Each structure stands twice: as structure tokens, then as C-alpha cells.
Homo-oligomer: A and B are copies of this chain.
Amino acid sequence: MEKIRFTLKIAVAQLNPKIGAFSKQIEKAKQAIAQAKKQGAELLLFPELFTTGYAPRDLLGYDSFVDGNLAALKALAKLADGITILTGFVERNPAKTGKPFFNSAALIRNKKIEAVYRKTLLPYYNIFEEERYFEAGDKHLLVFDQGGTRFAVSICEEIWNQPEHVHRAYEHDPLSTLKKKKVDVLLNLSASPFHVGKPAERLELLKSIAKKHKVGIAYCSQVGANDDLIFDGGSVIMSKQGKVLASAPAFEEAVLVNDLTTPGRVAKLPKSRIEWIARALELGLRDYTKKIGVPRVILGLSGGIDSAVAACIAVKALGEANVLGILLPSRFTSNDSLADAIELGSRLGIETQTISIEPVFSAYERQWLESEGQPLTGVSNENLQPRIRMTWLMAMANKGNRLLLNTSNKSEIAMGYATLYGDSSGALALLGDLVKDDVYKLAAYYNADELVIPDRILTRAPTAELRPNQTDQDSLPPYPILDKQVQKVVERMELPAAKGKDWETFRRLYAAAEYKRRQLPPALRVTSHAFGTGRRMPIAATPIEL
């Protein structure tokens, strides 16, 4: 009996939808269906909200958008010829009260939508806001039989509420009925966003569920990046002993086909924390440029560590031909910085160009002196320089139809250590969720294969070079301390027990910079708590401990 039941082949389509690109989603589905059928799969899973892509957010406010998603579901149904399909979609809530939609999964057999399952646990925390749009379903798990096997359908969050967890967001565990319902295989459609540590946590969770409930598992998650959110995928087919039989590569589209007992192809995953981050950021940049249709980028190369690492990511993500580096020296730029930036560009094989900001800088200074009767000094003078650089970079970006990359790191952003409309500008913040130490680690990672980042960039004290002999440490807590403060206060939302001078500096600068963060470009998210989609901080407020 057992053997018969588990020989049915399941396909898991780890696909990369673009929000609202209904016809592109259908094209991807067609190819996945062809591949699944070719390999003998009887059942094919698509991710959560696959028709729209995750997350459609307020686009759901447009009737035509929801209609487009329903038309895509119909088109998918027509394709379910000789194969059973499970796909996520947005269902309208027909009730007169309550939220307007359900986050649903359709079971399609013989080209007909045979059943619809409505997600019961709707995450609302951090980057999630499903309760803004979706009413919770009231029937836990959809059960159906195929090929002598009994399947249960669940959607994303519903596997993340195990009673073993210390903090649980919901009282009910939808999986608690698996045994009673005699389920052989648990199916889960997901759009599970990446952060460091999440893939391993997810895999352990799935293993524990398989063992605890004695079910095989087919887990299908979306892959790809949408704005600041990156989805690594992590799709797997797992035996009821919790053994991974087949798994999709991280950060790539793939169609897995396997049964529930036979060992199949298991993808190699990134080996280190930093490799996970690097691969995530590369995908984040690649998808953003691809999905908005501007494949070429531009960035300022300061000769410092941040722009060097950003350039490495850009080259890996887009190829050297699509990356243009601009050096924008002033009187405060050291020869070392210039030489290092040029050397970096040459090692990366990207085009570089040098534009001195001095003529314009001097023009501002002369005019200020004439009009105000005294020279422009201090922070006002320092801020001039990044704003001139931004203006050059945006002019070059406009002219060449390129995206400007932002290279601020999380430690700087926490402290507001960037000039608003100067180096805070850009279409996408590549390093915006990395503390300074991680930027160095990424540099080492990119240097491991081939020495692309010149040594001096790695060893010099970080400096904005906006005045003579300036270093970041003149204004900020030392980076090793600052990084830990950022992880504590921003990522874990804790406050330090011992208060001292560095905490006072942190507290003051962190609170005062909220208005700058509000105007930041999307910052690719790689930690659990990034500056971006998942954050809601008032500006005109008295924040923590003030």
C-alpha cells in the first residue's frame, strides 16, 4: 500500500513572477506544465498568489487588476490538461462585510477549478500586511485524493505556527488535523521572503513537520525579488521521514519533479552566510533592473569600501558591460582614493569616467561668498559636495538611461551619515541592509576567487573625504560598536543595558535621521529588520528614551 501511494510524481514550480504581469506568469506556467508533464508528474504546484506575484498590495484596489488575476486563473485552468494544478490566486470575498479578498489556492483538475482553499493564518507583522486585504478562511486545510494518495493543501504562514515555537502569532495550528484526516502528503504554496538564516530555519521547520506528522511534503515558494524584498525559493520535496528528496537551487527558477520516496536531484545551497547575502543582493539588483526595464546602472566610485562592494555586486548581477563607474573627485579626494577606484574599475572590467566636481564646487563657493559676504563652511559646505556628485550622476543616468545605485550601508543609514539628496540618492540601495562589517565580509567574499578590490580599500580608515583628514569615526561610534548597536536597536528592537557616550551618540543620531530614512530608495532586505517595507516609524516623535 505504502509504495503505491508514494510513487505518484509531483512537480513543484519555483517561479519568479512580476507583480501584475499576468500574461508573463501564464507563459512561465505553460513552460512549467510542459516540463512537469514530460517528466511524468501528475500534480503541479505553483506558488502562493502566483497569478499576481507576491505582494500585489494596493494594486488590489483596482477592480481591473483583480479581474486580470481571475482571468489568469482561468487561463491556467485551461492549461491543466492531463495534469492536476494547484495555484495561488486572489479571490474576491463575496460577503457584504469583512475584508475584500481571500488569499486562495485553486485545485484544478481536468481543466476545471474543483476546489478553492482560503488561507486561514494571515501574517500582519514586519513586511507582511495580509490582513490589510484578506479575510481569513475558516476551514483549515483542503484535503483531496489523487493516485491513491491523500493530499492536504496549506498556504505559507500555516506551517509557521507550530506549538513548539516560543512565540506564536495565532492560537490555532492548522496542521493539528493532519493525522485525523489521514493525510499522506502536505502541500504548501508559499511566498517566503529571504533573510539571513531563513532558508535553514525553513528547511528545519519542514523536516520537523514531516517527522512529527508523518507526512511527505511538497513545498513550493516564489523566487525572485520585488522591490526591496528578495525570495530565495527553497522549494523542496521531502519524504515523510523528513529527508530532502529533491530541492530547487536558491535564487533561481526551477521545476522539481519527484515522487515522495525516491532520492532525486538535491540542489547545492550557498555555503556561507556571506554567500547567501551576496547571491540575494545580486538577484535583488538583477530583478529590479529587469522588472522595471532599465538594465544598465551607474554608480559613483569613491575609492571607499561601500562603492567598491556595490560595484562587485552590480558586475556579478548585470555583467561588466552594464555597469558604469564615475569618479567625482574634489580637493579633498586623496590620490589613493582615485588610484584605488580606477584600479577597481579596471580589475572589474567596467567602464569608468572621471569628472572633477571642483569647477562646480568652486562656482557654488564663489557665489555664496559674494552673496553672503562670508565663505560657506561647516556641514553646509560638506553637504554641497555629495549633492554636486548626485547631480552629475543623475545627469549621466538620465542621458544614458541608467539606474543610479545607492551605496549607503545600514550603519550609515542608522546614523543619518549621508547627505540627503546627495549620497542618500539612487534608485535602489544595494547595501542598505548591511552593517559595515558585513560590507567588509562581502569584499572578502568577492576577493576570494579573484582579487578585485584593491587591498588599500580594505585597510584604510573609512572616510567621506568632505574635509581635510576627515574619518567616519570623527562623527560616529567606532564601527564595531556601531554595527552591534544597529543589530541590537534596529534589528532586535532592544536597548542596551549599559548606557555610555557611544550610546548617547547613537541614540541622538538614530532618532534625528528618521526623516532621511523616509526618503531613502528601496533598500534590498537581507536581515529580519531592514529599513524599508517592514518598518513604520513616526518622524515627528519623541522616540525611545528621549
Contacts from A to B (Cβ < 8 Å): 18-22, 24, 53, 55-59, 61-65, 96-99, 124-125, 129, 131-132, 167-171, 225-227, 287-288, 291-292, 353, 355-356, 359-360, 362-364, 366-368, 371, 376, 379-380, 383-384, 387-388, 390-392, 394-395, 398-399, 420-421, 425, 427, 493-495, 515, 518-522, 535-546
A-B contact pairs, 16 of them (CB 8 A): A18-B541, A19-B542, A20-B542, A20-B544, A21-B541, A58-B537, A59-B541, A62-B493, A65-B544, A98-B170, A125-B132, A356-B367, A360-B367, A363-B363, A420-B425, A518-B521
Cα of A59 to Cα of B541 in the assembled complex, Å: 9
Q: Is A493 within 8 A of B383, CB to CB?
A: no
* Residues on B with beta carbons closer than 8 Å to the beta carbon of A540: 18-19, 225-227, 287-288, 291-292
* Residues on B with beta carbons closer than 8 Å to the beta carbon of A515: 292, 427, 521
Max chain B C-beta neighbours (<10 A), residue from A53, A360, A383: A360
Q: Is A169 within 8 A of B287, CB to CB?
A: no
**A520 in complex: contacting residue of B125, B225, B421, B519, CB < 8 Å:** B519
Q: Is A383 within 8 A of B395, CB to CB?
A: yes
Q: Is B56 within 8 A of A538, CB to CB?
A: yes
Q: Is A536 within 8 A of B363, CB to CB?
A: no
- Of all A-B residue pairs in the complex, the 8 with the closest CB atoms, nearest first, are A19-B541, A291-B540, A57-B536, A20-B542, A380-B398, A363-B363, A61-B493, A21-B542
Q: Is B97 within 8 A of A171, CB to CB?
A: yes
Give A133 Cβ to nearest chain B Cβ, in Å: 9
**A420 in complex: contacting residue of B57, B394, B537, CB < 8 Å:** B394
Q: Is B367 within 8 A of A359, CB to CB?
A: yes
**A64 in complex: contacting residue of B55, B353, B421, B544, CB < 8 Å:** B544
Give A175 Cβ to nearest chain B Cβ, in Å: 15
**A98 in complex: contacting residue of B21, B169, B362, CB < 8 Å:** B169
Q: Is B390 within 8 A of A376, CB to CB?
A: no
Q: Is B383 within 8 A of A57, CB to CB?
A: no
- If A288-B540, A540-B292 touch, whether A495 touches B360 (CB-CB below 8 Å) is no
- Which chain B residue has the least Cβ–Cβ distance from A25? B542
Q: Is A538 within 8 A of B59, CB to CB?
A: yes
Q: Is B355 within 8 A of A379, CB to CB?
A: no
Cα of A536 to Cα of B387 in the assembled complex, Å: 29
Q: Is B62 within 8 A of A168, CB to CB?
A: no
Q: Is A359 within 8 A of B363, CB to CB?
A: yes
- Which chain B residue has the least Cβ–Cβ distance from A288? B540
Q: Is B58 within 8 A of A535, CB to CB?
A: yes
- Which chain B residue has the least Cβ–Cβ distance from A427? B515
* Residues on B with beta carbons closer than 8 Å to the beta carbon of A64: 495, 544-545
- If A390-B421, A540-B19, A540-B291 touch, whether A99 touches B384 (CB-CB below 8 Å) is no
Q: Is B355 within 8 A of A359, CB to CB?
A: no
Instruction: Give me 9 other A-B pairs in contact (C-beta within 8 A), A19-B538, A96-B168, A131-B131 excluded.
Output: A18-B541, A21-B542, A59-B537, A59-B541, A64-B544, A226-B541, A360-B367, A364-B392, A383-B395
- If A65-B544, A129-B132, A292-B515 touch, whether A538 touches B359 (CB-CB below 8 Å) is no
- Which chain B residue has the least Cβ–Cβ distance from A356? B367
- Which chain B residue has the least Cβ–Cβ distance from A371? B355
- If A61-B493, A360-B364 touch, whether A538 touches B395 (CB-CB below 8 Å) is no
Q: Is B57 within 8 A of A538, CB to CB?
A: yes
Cα of A20 to Cα of B537 in the assembled complex, Å: 12
Give A325 Cβ to nearest chain B Cβ, in Å: 15
* Residues on B with beta carbons closer than 8 Å to the beta carbon of A390: 387, 421
Give A176 Cβ to nearest chain B Cβ, in Å: 14
Q: Is A383 within 8 A of B376, CB to CB?
A: no
**A18 in complex: contacting residue of B58, B170, B395, B542, CB < 8 Å:** B542
* Residues on B with beta carbons closer than 8 Å to the beta carbon of A379: 398
**A421 in complex: contacting residue of B65, B394, B545, CB < 8 Å:** B394
Cα of A110 to Cα of B513 in the assembled complex, Å: 43
